[in-house]
Amino acid sequence: MKLAAAEINLSALRHNLRRIKALAPRAKVMAVLKANAYGHGLVTIAQHLQDADAFAVARIDEALALRAGGLTKPIVLLEGFFNANDIPILLANNFQTVIHNEYQLNALESAKLDAPIATWLKVDTGMHRLGIEPEQLDSFYNRLKSSENVKPQVNLMTHFSCADDVENSKTKVQLNKFTQLVDNKNESLCLANSAGIIGWPESHNDWVRPGLMLYGVSPMQEQVGAHHGLQPVMRLTTRVIAIRSLPANEPVGYGGRWQSKHATQLAIVAMGYGDGYPRHAKNGTPVMIRNQRFGIVGSVSMDMITVDIGDNKAGIAVGDEVEMWGPNLPVEEVAAYADTIPYELLCNVTPRVSYEYVDKNQA
């Protein structure tokens, strides 16, 4: 009996990439695979994104793991390099680097290289995380253009802070600022993350950078992937390992965080924060057993969760499969019950969970 399993549906993954291309038909796609492909498995996910134009990761180790796995597409380092000694590794492995600060620019200019490196100059238009100041753009751009260590085309990018909210005018402000800044430069432009792709078509430009939506999950507030024609890639399941009867007015689990109002039955399921299930999931967070939703009760523990199955009309028995999230139970919904975002739940799935890759058409 397999406990704590993540079924990764590669046919859904390919469907989501096609959906991205349908939404942004003129843009090239840089598939974002950081954090173990959002918890889905870096190399296997990359192998099944043949139709992406490039990959993007956050760290050089992630990029090296893709090359070690035999992937040959261009790979963009979204935060660039942090140490000048890494520049020859970038060249040797055909990694493209984001440039977002003076250190990186100086290091790249003074490196001794046999061939130039492809760059993405990142400008901060209001996110205020990474990126050069708008006033620095011309000077950075001109220096990159005249460096022998840099490929002639200097790609330009920025990142949105609030694109998941279509009511928020901040995205328009960032978009306009970027458009003005790059107006006189004939280069490839890249702005949109998943939320930009869905919510802000005017941001698509030459390249888009989808992460979350590749995995079938909605980046937009209060929506699920299906609203945007996406299919969940991960199905996280486990099994019922015990059925218990609980009298009225009895507490359940560590700290007695929940108490029965009347006599009920509990299904104990083999999943907990040791598998990456969020410990802060509230009473009532849904799980699916026998095609019905039931709410969890009491604290999530390391290996187990208790589920209130009432009078068990459904006939739930030991060994039954439990879907924690997946095609029948959107991870977006579970995230809301845990006061977090689906990104975090997907990334947090731990190595104890067994991964299985399948190809299943979802209706």
Ligand X SMILES: *Cc1c(COP(=O)(O)O)cnc(C)c1O
Q: Which stretch binds ligand X (CB under 6 A): 41-49, 211-219, 221-229, 259-267?
A: 211-219
Q: Which is nearer to ligand X, 213 or 269 (CB)?
A: 213
- Beta-strand ranges (E) seen in 126-263 are 150-157, 189-190, 207-208, 234-246, 251-252, 258-259
Task: Kindly give the interhelix angle for 137-146 and 102-110, rounded to the nearest 10 degrees.
Answer: 10
Task: Render 39-96 in DSSP notation, one character per residue.
Answer: HT-HHHHHHT-TT-SEEEESSHHHHHHHHHTT--S-EEETT--SSGGGHHHHHHTTEE
Longest Cα–Cα distance of the chain, Å, equals 77
Min dist. Cβ of residue 208 to ligand X (A)? 9
Q: How many CB atoms lie within 10 A of CB 180?
A: 11
Min dist. Cβ of residue 315 to ligand X (A)? 40
Q: Which is nearer to ligand X, 208 or 304 (CB)?
A: 208
Kindly determine how many residues on this chain lie close enough to bind ligand X according to the rule CB under 6 A: 12
The contacts of residue 225 (CB under 8 Å, 6+ apart) are: 213, 216, 217, 218, 231, 232, 330, 332
**8 Å CB contact between 117 and 97:** yes
Min dist. Cβ of residue 195 to ligand X (A)? 6
Closest residue to ligand X: CB criterion: 211
Residue 32 touching ligand X (CB under 6 A)? yes
Q: Which of 21, 28, 151, 254 is catalytic?
A: 254
What is the token pair recorded at 328? 């029948």
Q: Which is nearer to ligand X, 211 or 232 (CB)?
A: 211
Residue 353: phi and psi, rounded to 5, are: -75, 135
Considering only 219, 272, 276, 298, the residue that binds ligand X (CB under 6 A) is 219
3-state secondary structure of 13: helix
Q: Which is nearer to ligand X, 78 or 241 (CB)?
A: 78
Residue 78 touching ligand X (CB under 6 A)? yes
Considering only 23, 77, 198, 212, the residue that binds ligand X (CB under 6 A) is 212
254 a catalytic residue: yes
**8 Å CB contact between 127 and 161:** yes
Please name the residue that has the structure tokens 């043949």.
50
Residue 87 touching ligand X (CB under 6 A)? no
17, 93, 4, 9: which is closest to 44 by C-alpha?
9
d(CA 56, CA 203): 18
Min dist. Cβ of residue 214 to ligand X (A)? 8
Q: Which stretch binds ligand X (CB under 6 A): 17-25, 110-118, 170-178, 207-215?
A: 207-215
Q: Which is nearer to ligand X, 100 or 235 (CB)?
A: 100
Query: Which residues within the stretch 121-180 sit at the binding site for ligand X (CB under 6 A)?
Result: 159
What is the token pair recorded at 170? 């901040």
Considering only 15, 19, 100, 209, the residue that binds ligand X (CB under 6 A) is 209
The annotation status of 293 as a binding-site residue, yes or no, is no
Angle subtended at Cα 168 by Cα 163 and Cα 170, rounded to the nearest 5 degrees: 75
Residue 15 touching ligand X (CB under 6 A)? no
The annotation status of 209 as a binding-site residue, yes or no, is no
Q: Which of 34, 38, 277, 343 is catalytic?
A: 34
Q: Which is nearer to ligand X, 19 or 209 (CB)?
A: 209
Binding site for ligand X (CB under 6 A): 32, 34, 78, 159, 193-195, 209-212, 219
Q: Which residues are annotated as a binding site?
A: 129, 302
Active-site amino acid positions: 34, 254
Q: Which residues are annotated as a binding site for substrate?
A: 129, 302
